[in-house]
Amino acid sequence: MAGPGTSGGGGGGGWRPLLVPLLMPTWLTIGIFLVLPVALMAVYSFLTKEFRGGVIWDFTLAAYDQFFVDRGLFGDEPPAIEWTYIAIFWRSIWQAGLATLFCLLVGFPTAWFIATRPASQRGVWLFLITIPYWVNLLIRTVSLKFLIRDNGPLNEGLMALGVLDAPVTLVNTNLAVQLGLFYSYLPFMVLPIYAAVERYNFALSEAAADLYASRWVTLREIVIPVVKPGIVAGCILVFVPSLGAFLAPDLLGGAKTFMIGSLIEEQFKGSLGNWPFGAAASMILMTLVLCALMVYARSASQAAGQGAAR
Amino acid sequence: MKRLLTTAAALVLAGPAFAEGELKVYHWFEYIPQELVDKFTAETGITVTIDTYDSNEAMLASLKAGRMGQYDVAVPGDYMVQIMAGEGLLDTFAPADLPNFGNIAPQWLDVPFDPGRQSSIPYQWGSTSFSVNRDVYQGDIGTLAMIFDPPEELKGKINVLDSQGEVLTLASLYMGIPQCNTDREQLKALSDMLVAAKAHWASFGSDTAKDVLVSGDAAAGMIYNGFSAKARAEGANVEYAYPKEGFVVWMDNVVLLKDAPNRDNALAFMNFLLDPENAAAVTNYAAYTAGVTGVAPFLDAAIAESPENNPPADAPAGSFIEVCDAETQKLYDAIWTNLKK
């Protein structure tokens, strides 16, 4: 990194002695607030559960064993694969993936619309997107519940208009959870895509049109590759928090089925009080997310390499 | 900057004197009227800070996670007093420390979860069963089948407390099997019964138990008797049941925490709560029943005569939630996780 080419050239070298002290606050912040807690979590996931919360400092794989191996209610049946927690993870990934897809389908056109308004109007549109964020997520989620309940405005309105004969039950269903995730995280999709589209050079689209590219081909071959970083950033920003969400499943889903977030929460706050298992579940979740991101980063850098070669 | 330093210096200097006038309470949500707290401050000059929790287990988890020494008193339920004492989280006092100690109702004096009342005083007691919206269902509701094997009208419209102890105890009562059970067949049957019943439930929620009945999201719900009285007071046509199979009784207690930073103030607060007029003020607010004698003249008639607080003559006796040993508790934890997966 500190090759002769970089240190020898220009006035940039004058900053070099300051680099370490200037970066120190960032390193400290990451160290204290990210690395340390994660390390603590990793250690706790290998400790023994103390009855009713807390840990005993005996190292064991019990938490991971509980996650993956099913020994029956009494713990003396032949070991089999434990599907309970895998199913919870799968359901959460599925819900988060769907939420990401819906956010993309709605967020991309929205971002495109805002970015193609005259510069003087864009501020107002962005402002409108951010307004809901002035209100706490908990309150917005509860409000959504009020809107969609059996005798809420949505159902009553549709019945008054004659669209529905009887109220459609949304509250306490997976559909409501999906709606909650979509609604909560939509702006996280709109804003990065907007930032990418705003920088898009529309002369490229005109050039494509001049060369007889259809609108669809222009979108697929020109626009999406150029704004892809924004799309990817938006997808990550929606997918990752959706995966760990527990407000929407608790309030809109009726807390009937565990999602990853509520499963982990229950280990620390609820009656189950199993810290090592909560830590292990968190570690497994984090590993999954990191792997997915690394696979993406690798394919992205390969794609970038190909693009440069072309 | 200078002013900031002055303020900081003043705070440091005032520190010890200030600490004498403080009390840190760890309490349930919506369980003490602000007027009563203000009255305590007016009488004693002690300022009160209250943090809240929504389940006994959450309170225990928080205290064990390093918040001991920050609070003076907490308000655990009966079985949790026993657990906290076993974990060494409670301090003791002598009856002479509380001039009002003699006001404790005789039946709540020598309780199994704190023999001789060495660490705790009664706060309020009540029961947990369920309520049914009478606009939706008009039949007989005197059975736990309303929750665990509900009639057609209630299916899909039931809220259940998000509380392992209460759900599993009521389910055991429904099946007529003992608590802290280790019988494989009976536990398997209990688990199967719960999984089958869950298909008819709409949601799990404790702090929302009243609201879902009032809003109509739920037509029946597991609930505490006073909370149900509040739902009725807010306009829901709900009736609280005393089912024939039995129900859960509980008592919440003010406990003196170990390492309490303001022990004397904590004792003053506990003594204050044993005064009949003050105990009645809590009852009038929370709609449960005080564990103190002499409250009758101070009670609102609507609370004292409420159907939620006065079981019918033929109601069975209620059961306290029992504290199981670690091995047995593991089985119940597994049933609960399996139920909620």
Q: Which residues of B touch A175 (CB under 8 A)?
A: none
What distances in angstroms separate CA A278 from CA A4, A43, A260, B164, one per listed residue?
Answer: 49, 12, 10, 18
Each residue of B311-341: pLDDT tens digit? 888 889 899 999 898 889 888 988 988 888 7
A310 pLDDT band, cuts 50/70/90, is very low
ipTM for this model: 0.71
Q: Which residues of B touch A52 (CB under 8 A)?
A: 57, 60, 64, 83, 87
Per-residue confidence (pLDDT) for residue A306, from 0 to 100: 61
**B207 and B278 inside one domain:** no
Q: Dihedral through CA A177, CA A179, CA A182, CA A185, nearest 10?
A: -70
Q: Do A269 and B61 lie within an 8 Å CB cutoff?
A: yes
Local structure of B33: helix, strand or coil: coil
Residue range B188-212: mean pLDDT, rounded? 92
A170 pLDDT band, cuts 50/70/90, is confident
A2 pLDDT band, cuts 50/70/90, is very low
Each residue of A125-159: pLDDT tens digit? 999 988 888 888 889 998 898 898 888 888 888 88
Q: Count other Cβ atoms within 10 Å, centred on residue B152.
A: 8
**B120 and B13 inside one domain:** yes
**B171 and B67 inside one domain:** no
**B62 and B13 inside one domain:** yes
Predicted confidence (pLDDT) at residue A5 exceeds the cutoff of 50? no
**B241 and B332 inside one domain:** yes
**B167: Cβ contacts below 8 Å, ≥ 6 apart:** B160, B161, B194, B222, B336, B339
More confident: B337 or B37:
B37
**Which of A243-247, B106-110, B132-136 comes out lowest in average pLDDT?**
A243-247
Q: Do B204 and A255 lie within an 8 Å CB cutoff?
A: yes
Chain B residues at the A interface, defined by Cβ less than 8 Å, are 55, 57-58, 60-61, 64-65, 83, 87, 156, 159, 162-165, 184, 187-188, 191, 198, 201-205, 215-217, 326, 329-331, 333-338, 340-341
Of B102, B84, B103, give the one whose Cα is nearest residue B255. B84
All structural domains of chain A with their residue ranges = 89-309
**B113 and B148 inside one domain:** no
**B208 and B219 inside one domain:** yes
CA-nearest residue to B64 within chain A is A54
**B297 and B327 inside one domain:** no
A3 pLDDT band, cuts 50/70/90, is very low
- CATH number of the domain encompassing residue B47: 3.40.190.10
Q: Which residues of B touch A53 (CB under 8 A)?
A: 57, 60-61, 64-65
**DSSP notation for B233-287:** HTT--EEEE--TT--EEEEEEEEEBTT-TTHHHHHHHHHHHTSHHHHHHHHHHH-
Q: Dihedral through CA B51, CA B54, CA B55, CA B60, nearest 10?
A: -30
- Residue A52 is nearest to which of B60, B184, B187, comparing CB atoms? B60
**B119 and B56 inside one domain:** yes
**B167 and B257 inside one domain:** no
Each residue of A216-258: pLDDT tens digit? 888 888 888 889 989 999 999 999 899 888 888 888 888 777 7
- Residue B61 is nearest to which of A149, A171, A273, comparing CB atoms? A273
CA-nearest residue to B84 within chain A is A52
For all residues of chain A together, what is the average pLDDT? 85
The interface residues of chain A toward chain B in range 84-143, judged by CB-CB distance below 8 A, are 84-85, 87-88
**B16 and B100 inside one domain:** yes
Predicted confidence (pLDDT) at residue B11 exceeds the cutoff of 50? no
Instruction: Count chain A–chain B contacts defined by CB atoms under 8 A.
Output: 90
Q: Domain range for residue B63?
A: 2-124+251-304
Q: How close A138 comes to chain B (CA, Å)?
A: 14
Six-digit token pair at A42?
């990793």
**Which of A219-223, B3-7, B32-36, B156-160 comes out lowest in average pLDDT?**
B3-7
Per-residue confidence (pLDDT) for residue B16, from 0 to 100: 40
**B232 and B145 inside one domain:** yes
Q: How many domains, chain B? A: 2
The CATH code of the domain at A89-309 is 1.10.3720.10
